[in-house]
Structure 1
Amino acid sequence: MKQNKYDDLDFFEKYSRMPRSTDGLKAAGEWHALRELLPDLRDKRVLDLGCGFGWHCRYAREQQARSVVGVDLSEKMLERAREMTDDFAIEYRRLAIEDIDFPENDFDVVISSLALHYVERFDIVCQKIYRCLAPGGTFVLSFEHPVFTAIAAQDWHYGPQGERLHWPVDNYQNEGPRLARFLDNDVVKYHRTVATHINALLDSGFRITKLSEPQPTQEVLAKYPEMRDETRRPIFLLISAIKNG
């Protein structure tokens, strides 16, 4: 199933008011860790899957990437990305991640930030990315942590006074769709274990170089104190992998 919630006007407007939508990468609690996983982007051909407003595309060009292709299924997201971009070397295409079919060895770096938990067949996507990467190319991805996605409610266990006691984890081994509430809307996400993610990459031929379960920096927490609870359990899992050869 290919979801396109971001073209729903109510959902898009609420998403557009999120800190990471208004303030960009500096408001993304995981950005400091994702940036460390990226290789030197100078003169690289970069693909961004689920590019949204194009923040990572523009960052790649700031790092002197040769060319960037941003892919997203949402026309509203791409429209905003184009409005915010004035760069002939960045191309935005409307396309579902599941439908990518780029030529072999077409890119040096593939990035996907917080989009792959919406994709049902992660294994097939990994195979397609492996094919379109040049030998020695890098795939850097982030997605909602399986500890976060295991229960569809994606919420804390509260005490009698409404205090957040702990984050419940259950049905972790039961992989598949979860109907979650996000921005007051029902959204289907796909829960997979850590092992499933790792093995899908390995089975596709990748060599995994680093994992990260980041928390917001003190600088980010000072500006966005509502992120304080993100230090209590992992919300994102980040992986860097390389195409052998």
Structure 2
Amino acid sequence: MKENKYDDPGFFENYSQMARSVEGLNAAGEWEVFRSLLPPLQDKRVLDIGCGFGWHCRYVMEQQAASVIGMDLSEKMLEQARLRNNGPGITYLREAMEDIDFPPGSFDVVLSSLALHYTGHYDLICRKVHNSLSAGGHFVFSTEHPVFTAMETQDWYYGTAGQRLHWPVDHYQDEGRRVARFLDTDVVKYHRTVATLINGLLDAGFIITRVEEPKPSPAVLEKYPEMKDETRRPIFILIAAQKPSAV
């Protein structure tokens, strides 16, 4: 079984109290930008890798997609997804992202929100996603930004009075496993550079169509003022890519 902290009761309880867990996509500071990267979804077959509570699956079906499969390794996540965001056209599947094995051309759109930093097999997943997409299909994902994942501490440098002075970046070129502290738990994540993120897609055969490093919008900051420091450095990177159309 792959690394899966989300089925740990204590960790899951803390995760369930996060704003994005309680209120859904509108509480996610990056959602407005992520949504802008998605292609029109009407009548599309969609795969959501690392679907969590299923908020994206719900959104996809609200856009009149033909169907969506939400896959996640965590049974606790899927249990909540089935309770909160189920409905016609939505199928939830317990499976690790590394084990994607759908027939060629199964989907028109593949999306993934904040899941790929949990895998050490990014290149493999890019290839598998490319294979599972129809010609001209889209792959849109967010992951923790390399500036954020470079150091295991994933924390600010503080002044003597406890003020946040700056965000330290070191060992950026040293890619690989990190043990970060998240929600009072040691969680395994994987750091990779921006170049690796881009080149993994290019090597799999994708065309890069957009790259974003979003910050919370004024509306989000007004509702969640605790996010104000997220404007000082990128925490997420969002990439939109497309499988070339058949010649």
Distance 2:134 2:189 in 1: 30
Once the two structures are aligned, what percentage of the paired residues are identical?
66
Report the 3-state secondary structure (helix = DSSP H, G, I; strand = E; otherwise coil) of the residue aligned with 2:197: helix
Structure 1: which amino acid aligns with 2:81?
A
Offset, 1:87: 1.2
Structure 2: which amino acid aligns with 1:109?
V
Q: Does 1:113 align with 2:113?
A: yes
Q: CA RMSD in A?
A: 0.7
State the match for 1:47 in structure 2. Answer: 47
Gap regions ≥5 residues in structure 2? none
Structure 1's consecutive aligned runs of 4 or more residues displaced over 3 angstroms after TM superposition are none
Q: Could you list the per-position Cα deviations for residues 84-113 of structure 1 after superposition, in whole angstroms to 9, with x for gaps in the alignment?
A: 134121000000000010010000000000
> Scaled by the length of structure 1, what TM-score is found?
0.99
Report the 3-state secondary structure (helix = DSSP H, G, I; strand = E; otherwise coil) of the residue aligned with 1:23: helix
State the match for 2:195 in structure 1. Answer: 195
Report the 3-state secondary structure (helix = DSSP H, G, I; strand = E; otherwise coil) of the residue aligned with 1:138: strand
Report the 3-state secondary structure (helix = DSSP H, G, I; strand = E; otherwise coil) of the residue aligned with 2:220: helix
State the match for 1:161 in structure 2. Answer: 161
Report the 3-state secondary structure (helix = DSSP H, G, I; strand = E; otherwise coil) of the residue aligned with 2:199: helix
State the match for 2:90 in structure 1. Answer: 90
Report the 3-state secondary structure (helix = DSSP H, G, I; strand = E; otherwise coil) of the residue aligned with 2:155: coil
Gap regions ≥5 residues in structure 1? none
State the match for 2:37 in structure 1. Answer: 37
Distance 1:221 1:184 in 2: 25
What does 1:9-48 correspond to in 2, within 5 Å?
9-48=9-48
Distance 1:143 1:38 in 2: 15
Distance 2:66 2:32 in 1: 23
Report the 3-state secondary structure (helix = DSSP H, G, I; strand = E; otherwise coil) of the residue aligned with 1:169: coil
State the match for 2:8 in structure 1. Answer: 8
Structure 2: which amino acid aligns with 1:204?
A
Offset, 1:21: 0.2
Distance 1:38 1:58 in 2: 14
State the match for 2:140 in structure 1. Answer: 140
What does 1:152-231 correspond to in 2, within 5 Å?
152-231=152-231
Offset, 1:2: 1.9
Structure 2: which amino acid aligns with 1:79?
E
Structure 2: which amino acid aligns with 1:36?
S
Distance 1:159 1:218 in 2: 27
Report the 3-state secondary structure (helix = DSSP H, G, I; strand = E; otherwise coil) of the residue aligned with 1:155: coil
Indicate conservation of the 8 Å contact 2:111/2:139, yes or no. yes
> Scaled by the length of structure 2, what TM-score is found?
0.98
Q: Could you list the per-position Cα deviations for residues 90-146 of structure 1 after superposition, in whole angstroms to 9, with x for gaps in the alignment?
A: 000000000010010000000000000001010000000000000000000100000
Q: Does 1:149 align with 2:149?
A: yes
Aligned residues: 245
